[in-house]
Structure 1
Amino acid sequence: MITLTKLNGQSFTYNAVYIEQVQSNPDTTITTAGGRTFLVLESEEEVALKVTDYFRSIGLIQAVDKAGE
């Protein structure tokens, strides 16, 4: 789970596994696997870093790295 901030300043927690796409339009738009979209204050790079950190914390990135060896 990652914590993000809505444009009104309200924070919320979202399961990063369901994030399909992140774009800057110039606002950062997140599209979920279910087709829902929402805007956040974090930059595209910040969202990507949060997702990567989350995947690393649950061991998903390590599992992918080992499989690629």
Structure 2
Amino acid sequence: MVQLTRLNGKRFSLNAIYIEVIESFPDTTITLTNGHKYVVKESEQEVYASITSFYREINMLSLRKGSEVVDHE
């Protein structure tokens, strides 16, 4: 889940797995796979960074080549 802010200032969580499109009109508009749209205060880049972090957290996105991998043993 990613934490976002509606234009009225209210915070909410959105399941990033269902995000299909992120656009700036100039407000950032997120379209889900079911067609629902959300307009948020965060920039397109901030949303993308939150999604990337979420994917790494749930192990859907691995570290890039050359990045250090920490061994927790």
Both structures adopt the same fold (TM-score exceeding 0.5)? yes
Can you list the C-alpha shifts for 1:17-66, whole angstroms capped at 9, x where unaligned?
A: 0010100000000000001111000000000000000000000012xx7x
1:1-69 → structure 2 map (5 Å cutoff): 1-62=1-62
Where do 5+ consecutive residues of structure 1 fail to align? none
Residues in 2 aligned to 1:39 and 1:33: alpha-carbon distance in whole angstroms? 15
Give the Cα separation in 1 of the matches to 2:16 and 2:35. Answer: 14
Greater Rg over alpha carbons, structure:
2
Structure 1 CA distance for aligned equivalents of residues 60 and 15 of structure 2: 14
**TM-score scaled to structure 2, two decimals?**
0.84
| Deviant stretches of 4+, over 2 Å | none
Aligned residues: 65
Cα distance between partner residues in 1 of 2:9 and 2:43: 14
| Alpha-carbon distance in structure 1 between the residues aligned to 2:61 and 2:38 | 25
Computed over aligned residues only, the root mean square deviation of the Cα atoms, in angstroms, reads 1.6
